[in-house]
Structure 1
Amino acid sequence: MIKKPNQTTIIASGHAQYSVKGSDIVCAAFSALITHTVNNCINVTTTDKNGTITAMISDSERIENKTLLSAFENTVNELISQYSQYITWC
């Protein structure tokens, strides 16, 4: 996550390689998490290019966005604590 004043950008790419595509629980968990976050934040611009998802959230200090982004960050950190060899922050 890239945090700037009142703007947060999430860039995600790659495959966790915990298991084969289609049955990888780490990828599934992260995919559900980012989809939920992006779909529920307000003022989001997304692109999906060559397997890299970029979501730019404007108004990241707005209470709804701030709550969702905090939950996103906490949950990603929990995934990292359990599956650190398969998922990382960059």
Structure 2
Amino acid sequence: MIKVKMIKKNNKTTIIANGHAKYSAYGSDIVCASFSTLLTHTINNCTNVSVSDEGGVLTAIFSDAKSVENKTLLRAFENTVSQLVRQYSDYIMIIS
């Protein structure tokens, strides 16, 4: 299961993600592919982002989360992850 956590504090948002959906065989897992594409798109198109990927845990820190562009992309990320959770709750979850 993919586990996603978003921490919002002041002008900083942190996304922590780990796990594998196991919806389908490796290479054809649409849940993993959807989430990976969404996360990569968000990271690549925001500014002031630092990323670490250690031990299967990806941590992305968005230092300017309230800029118009970043705020829009982070809101879209959150909304789309919520849609994925509604459709595939056995394979992806948001943790608090």
- TM-score, length of structure 1 as denominator length: 0.98
RMSD: 0.6
Indicate yes or no: 2:43 matched with 1:38. Answer: yes
Segments of 4+ in structure 1 off by > 3 A? Answer: none
Which of the residues 66, 70, 76 maps onto 1:71? 76
Question: What SS class does the counterpart of residue 45 from structure 1 fall into?
Answer: strand
Q: In structure 2, what is the Cα distance between the partners aligned to 1:46 and 1:59?
A: 14
Measured against aligned partners, the alpha-carbon deviations of 1:16-68 in whole angstroms (never above 9, x if no partner) come to 01012211100000000000000000000000111111000011000000000
Larger relative contact order (CA 8 Å, sep ≥ 6): 2
Q: Residue type matched to 2:63 in 1? A: S
Instruction: Give structure 2 stretches of 5+ with no counterpart.
Output: 1-5
| Number of equivalent positions | 90
Question: What SS class does the counterpart of residue 25 from structure 2 fall into?
Answer: coil
Instruction: Give structure 1 stretches of 5+ with no counterpart.
Output: none
Which of the residues 47, 52, 56 maps onto 1:47? 52
Q: Residue type matched to 2:94 in 1? A: W
Q: Residue type matched to 1:37 in 2? A: T
